[in-house]
Structure 1
Amino acid sequence: MKLSNQKLIYLSPIIVVAVIFIFTLTLIPSVSQAPKNLPIAFVNADEGMTVPAKGNVNIGNQMEQNMKRASTEQSLVKWISVSNTKEVEKGLNDQKYYGALIIPKDFTKKQATLQTAQPDAPAIRLLVNQGMNTAASALASQVLNGAVDKMNENMRLQLVKRFEQNGTQLSASQALALAAPIQKTVINVNETGTHSVNGNAPVSLFQPLWIASIAGAAIVFLSIQKITFSSRKEKLVNQVGFIVIGAILALAAGFGLAWLAEVVGISVPSFLDTALFLAIAYFSFFTLISAVLSWLGLKGLPIFVIILFFGAPLLSMAPEIMPDFYREWIYPWLPMRFMVNGVRELFFFGRHLTWNSSVSALTLISLISLCALFASALPASSVKKEESRSI
């Protein structure tokens, strides 16, 4: 048969271009990042001071008002006022904030000393929630440092103007204080450490687990396709065996991946918790893929390959950095985000394996998938045939 007679040859350029187009779309989130409303906490503990000619002066309140005016619906940062440091620490651990700016209670009083012979520069603490997301925490660090640098610049100009108006000659200590009227201390909380693939260990573990889920589901599906069932009951019993096989594969995948992670140099805080959580995630993905295969056959596999290519770039990004379309319509539907979030909590937030939001979401996916899987064993045609036999 001549090659020119094959219709698929003429369609091949269109197919190639279509494949390139589809997978080029996966680059859009990384190329078209649109940071917006990055939540950063702001604590104003400044008690202010009473000035004879001006009454009560509180520079912290002035800064807080400036922060609020800077927060709009389209701004890069969403400044969130928090009452105290303990509440901020809890919010950072609960992954509510990517960072925090804390103004101490003696801020105004120390600022006033900058015009005296013994200046004592006020200090601000900057907290960066490093484990929440690598890219977003780096952006939060830039924002926090930039905010303090701007405060320094404004305060420096104000002080220089006052010294000029008073005709005061600066002492060496005053000149040194003017270089940095506000001191800053940067503290990384929930640190990612040095053996975490630059904070991307959760995403790195997702890819082999997802591919292994596809492979396991496909192998079991092909094996079941070779079996001939004589009754609906026999097919249902076989589905129970399917669940047992899936659980065995999940344990093998969970403990195997956790062990290999340590072998390649990734720091695994709690091996047992990590292995069991990865096993839960694998079983969730395995049942989900198997449910789709039970209804669509092998032609359902490309769905999960496409999810891999479209989902992987998003998993390494914070939702606040994604373009609106991907944040609102793609990211919420990615089942693997629960696995990545769960591993992040185990690795960087000192959590243990508990019934948290990630585990409950993965369990719910498994239950729904199992219902669909058992439903596929009860096609309408088979039910009618059995009913006709009984009659």
Structure 2
Amino acid sequence: MGKNKLFLSVPLIAVLVLFILSLTLIPSVNPQPEDVPIAIVNEDIGVKVPNQGELYLGNKMIELLLSVEEENSVVDWIEVKSTEEVINGLDEKEYYGAFIIPEEFSQKQASLRTAEPTSPHVEIIINEGKNYPAATMVNQVLNDVVENVNDTVRSQLLEEFQAEGGDLTVKQVTSLVNPIEAKTTKVNQVGENSANGNAPVTFFQPLWMSVLASAAILCFVTNKQTVLSQKENARLALAKVLMGAIASIVIGFALPWVTDAVIGLTMPSYLDTALFLTITAFSFILMILAVLSIVGIRGVPLFVVLLFFGAPLLSLAPEMMPSFYANWIYPWLPMRFMVEGLRDLFYFGNSLSWEMVSVLVWIAFVSLVVIMLTALKGKNTKK
């Protein structure tokens, strides 16, 4: 009778699986960025203009940018005091980019009305390593901002020249093409052979499948045994943990080697990458074993679903996700700590540190406690 019910439930199961997998595709379909943090620095010292007093054209630029923010929620302009503070913020992954107005901005912009114009410039800094697709979008947004400002400045200059009459010099005509120049600098660059900045995500799927297979096999093998005492149960649990540690070492050191040999992904330090992946793999194996120790081997599909949910989200910046995924799904994905750690190693010039692995270590510790408590609660029987 039970088999007949299972047979008849196949269409319902198929629809359920289809629905779940469809939910995993939503974030990557036409992502809409919102409130992308971009730093803005105004170092303009102003200029004295006869009959007009002191002009601070950098302030007008700031007002224009903030007015654009009110109409468009794509960018969240964050005013910062100095370029040094911006650079620190970029290295700490606080901003996807920066817009810097230099000291001589007003002076050079005022010269555009003279016979010897000198085009002012603004500095655009793109933080590639934070998230390459988002950084590419930020680059386009900031260059569009400069182009829009150029249209406004160009129109104003033409009106003034027309009102004054007379011929324009070659330098004046040339300056009208791009009244304000944009100088773009990229920091924390992803470089070549980086899967377009998604090398950390590339490591995720093979590692996750490896740890899931390892944990499932360990759970399946140990559940075949009947242990009568808590002491033997504890020994069996410790054996699972030990084998999980060995499997993690193999996964951690083999994955970057295979990836480098087959794909040729660039990684600054093989040893740091291998050690970080080893800690990550051990943390994930213990986490999976902890859940399977409670619900049994039937808990494996849960982690398969996590794979499908995690893969598309990990390649997106949170600001490019639908709000539900950004607020309720992404923060709870344990694999995001793996990707964030690899970004630090690959693109921000950091060495392996406690800060990178602290959350992963806590996941491993809590999981280990759950495994041991489950082992000590009573007899282990076949599931």
Inter-partner Cα distance in structure 2 for 1:115 and 1:332: 52
* 1:109 corresponds to 2:107: yes
| CA separation of 1:89 and 1:54: change in aligned 2, threshold 3 A | same
Give the TM-score, by structure 1 length.
0.93
- Deviation string 1:224-249 (CA, Å, 9 cap, x unpaired) is 11333232122213322322222111
Selected match of 2:204 from 184, 203, 206: 206
Selected match of 2:15 from 5, 14, 17: 17
- Tell whether the 8 Å contact from 1:40 to 1:100 is kept in structure 2 after alignment: yes
| CA separation of 1:227 and 1:14: change in aligned 2, threshold 3 A | closer
Structure 2 residue aligned with 1:354: 353
Structure 1 residue aligned with 2:38: 40
- Deviation string 1:317-369 (CA, Å, 9 cap, x unpaired) is 0000100100011001100000000001100111100111x311111111111
Amino acid at match of 2:267: V
Structure 2 residue aligned with 1:240: 238
Amino acid at match of 1:331: Y
Matches within 5 A, 1:106-255: 106-255=104-253
| CA separation of 1:270 and 1:16: change in aligned 2, threshold 3 A | same
Structure 2 residue aligned with 1:305: 304
Inter-partner Cα distance in structure 2 for 1:347 and 1:204: 13
- Tell whether the 8 Å contact from 1:44 to 1:83 is kept in structure 2 after alignment: yes
Question: Secondary structure at the residue paired with 2:228?
Answer: coil
Question: Secondary structure at the residue paired with 1:71?
Answer: helix
Give the TM-score, by structure 2 length.
0.95
Structure 1 runs not aligned, ≥5 long: 384-391
Aligned pair count reads: 378
* 1:278 corresponds to 2:277: yes
Structure 2 runs not aligned, ≥5 long: none
CA displacement at 1:32 relative to structure 2: 4.9
CA displacement at 1:284 relative to structure 2: 0.8
Inter-partner Cα distance in structure 2 for 1:223 and 1:12: 29
Selected match of 2:372 from 361, 371, 374: 374
Amino acid at match of 1:144: L
Amino acid at match of 1:258: P
Task: Work out the percentage of aligned pairs sharing the same amino acid.
Answer: 46
Amino acid at match of 1:332: P
Inter-partner Cα distance in structure 2 for 1:184 and 1:73: 23
Which has the larger displacement, 116-125 or 266-275?
Answer: 116-125
Amino acid at match of 2:163: Q
Structure 1 residue aligned with 2:320: 321
- Tell whether the 8 Å contact from 1:291 to 1:372 is kept in structure 2 after alignment: yes
Question: Secondary structure at the residue paired with 1:215?
Answer: helix
Structure 2 residue aligned with 1:291: 290
Question: Secondary structure at the residue paired with 1:377?
Answer: helix
- Tell whether the 8 Å contact from 1:88 to 1:100 is kept in structure 2 after alignment: yes
Question: Secondary structure at the residue paired with 1:35?
Answer: coil
Structure 2 residue aligned with 1:97: 95
- Deviation string 1:85-118 (CA, Å, 9 cap, x unpaired) is 1111111111000001111100110111111121
Amino acid at match of 1:78: D
Structure 1 residue aligned with 2:342: 343
Question: Secondary structure at the residue paired with 2:9?
Answer: helix
RMSD: 1.8
- Tell whether the 8 Å contact from 1:261 to 1:268 is kept in structure 2 after alignment: no
- Tell whether the 8 Å contact from 2:227 to 2:379 is kept in structure 1 after alignment: no
Inter-partner Cα distance in structure 2 for 1:245 and 1:19: 32
CA displacement at 1:71 relative to structure 2: 3.0
- Tell whether the 8 Å contact from 1:42 to 1:80 is kept in structure 2 after alignment: yes
| CA separation of 1:16 and 1:238: change in aligned 2, threshold 3 A | closer
- Tell whether the 8 Å contact from 1:202 to 1:340 is kept in structure 2 after alignment: yes
